[in-house]
Chain A
Amino acid sequence: MNTVFQRTSVLKNCSTHYCPGCGHGIAHRLLAEVVDELNIQDRTIGIAPVGCAVLAYNYLDVDMIEVAHGRAPAVATGMKRTNPDKIIFSYQGDGDLAAIGTAEIIHAAHRAERITVIFINNAVFGMTGGQMAPTTMLGQITATTQQGRNPSNGQGYPLQVSEILALLPGTVYVERCALSGVPGIKRTKAAMKHAFGLQMDDAPGLSLVEILSPCPTYWRMSPAKAMKWIEEEMCKAFPIARLKG
């Protein structure tokens, strides 16, 4: 018997604090596998967000820093400009990147910063109790949209960050993937690997991988149903596509 799959050493050997079935655990593992396979563990610096993944530095065995809410691309800019040989990535949720940090991500992309952004989109604010996020879909029921998100109630439309960033000349690679099932997870890993590879080749711009991730707790679903819901509902509002690069 040969071992064909085991936990990578870049992922620390400890339990996570995430809810059962949360997509963050899968995304962390993919990130660790990519860093391991590209052999960049000693020169990678990660930036943890504010949100559910705030303790990401406890799980990934790379140098990491925790920054103010939404300001990860701004800090990444400074780190990349002072240490151009380092591989800098930020790991941000939709509350971090698409709400409070919209200005930072748009201007980091606009300045063509050579960083990689991993954007976890689960359509709710997971950490604070499942309130409506900018990425919440129309009709989706959350703690603050009890009747479903409705633009005529002044609740607006879902913000499609990847499409916006793909329009900017400062981005080199934008792709949206989903963690719904094994093929989607494999595709996500390939996208992450490509994004890191571009930064290693010093591609002139920002690379972003948006990942549609399940939040079974605040979607009020079982983990298996949440995976199905991504495919059936979320992919309609956020189509899976390689938007640029």
Chain B
Amino acid sequence: MAGKIVIDTERCKGCGLCVVVCPKKSIVISKESNKNGYFPAQKTDGDCIGCAQCAIICPEGIIQVCRDQMERIRIVAAPEKHSASHLIEEKA
């Protein structure tokens, strides 16, 4: 998993905006209410990529996002390593 989110479920009002914007669909609305009577957003075991879109749209500002920087760098760096010229050289 490249990313991780922490939702303060006791302060969540269950508006569901994070559920809509999550590109990996790894947030759902909980079936159990919090102390204020709202059904809060809840992280699933889905593949979080740490894009922080849920945190950016959250009206309560209660989502903290962590990301595995090393993994991200590796993903970005990989296509450069296998660039077109490199592959041609390999083939030759």
| Contacting residues, chain A, for B30 (C-beta < 8 A) | none
A1–B67 touching, CB < 8 Å: yes
Q: Is A100 an interface residue (CB 8 A)?
A: no
Q: How far is the CA of A6 from the CA of B16 in the complex (A)?
A: 19
Q: Roughly how many angstroms separate A1 CA and B57 CA in the complex, as a whole number?
A: 22
Given A25-B60, A25-B61, A182-B21, A4 contacting B38 (CB threshold 8 A): no
Which B residues touch A6, using CB under 8 A? 64-65
Residues of B within 8 A of A185 (CB): 56-57
Q: Are B53 and A182 in contact (CB under 8 A)?
A: yes
The verdict on A156 contacting chain B, using a C-beta distance below 8 Å, is no
Q: A215–B46 Cα gap in the complex (Å)?
A: 31
Contact A26 B11 (CB under 8 A): no
- Bound-state CA distance A25–B57 (Å) is 10
B16 contacts across to A, CB distance below 8 A: 21, 222-224
State whether the Cβ of B55 lies closer than 8 Å to any Cβ in chain A. Answer: yes
A11, CB-defined interface residue at 8 Å: yes
A23 to B21, CA, bound (A): 15
Find out whether the CB atom of A21 lies under 8 angstroms from the CB atom of B59. yes
Shortest CB-to-CB span from B51 to chain A, Å, is: 9
Contact with B along A206-227 (1 / 0, CB 8 A): 0000000000100000111001
The interface residues of chain B lying within 8 Å CB-to-CB of A186 are 56
Within 8 A of B (CB), among A4-30: 4-8, 11, 15-16, 18-26, 28-29
Near A by CB (< 8 A), chain B positions 10-45 give 11, 13-17, 19-21, 36, 38
User: Is residue A3 contacting chain B, with contact meaning CB distance below 8 A?
Assistant: yes
Cβ contacts under 8 Å, B11 to chain A: 15
A223 and B17 within 8 A (CB): yes
Cβ of A2 within 8 Å of any chain B Cβ, yes or no, is yes
Chain B nearest Cβ from A76, distance in angstroms: 26
Give residues of chain A (154-189) contacting chain B, Cβ–Cβ below 8 Å: 181-182, 185-186
Q: Are B60 and A16 in contact (CB under 8 A)?
A: yes
Partner of A26, one of B21, B52, B59, B63: B59
Among B15, B21, B60, contact of A15 (Cβ-Cβ < 8 Å): B60
In whole Å, how far is B89's beta carbon from the nearest beta carbon of chain A?
Answer: 35
A interface footprint on B56-83 (CB within 8 Å = 1, 0 otherwise):
1111111111111100000000000000
A180 to chain B: closest residue by CB: B57
Q: Which residues of chain A are within 8 angstroms of B66 by Cβ–Cβ distance? A: 1-4
Contacts of B58 in A (CB 8 A): 25-26
B20, B36, B38: residue with the most chain A Cβ atoms closer than 10 Å = B20
Given the known inter-chain contacts A4-B66, A25-B61, please indicate yes or no for A20 contacting B15, CB distance below 8 A. Answer: yes
Complex Cα gap A1–B69 (Å): 7
Chain A residues positioned under 8 Å from B56 (CB to CB)? 5, 182, 185-186
Given the contacts A1-B66, A2-B69, A4-B50, A224 and B17 also touching, CB distance less than 8 Å = yes
On whether the beta carbons of B4 and A1 are closer than 8 Å, the reply is yes
Q: Are B17 and A227 in contact (CB under 8 A)?
A: yes
Q: How far is the CB of B32 from chain A (nearest CB, A)?
A: 17
Interface of B with A (CB < 8 Å)? 4, 11, 13-17, 19-21, 36, 38, 50, 52-53, 55-69
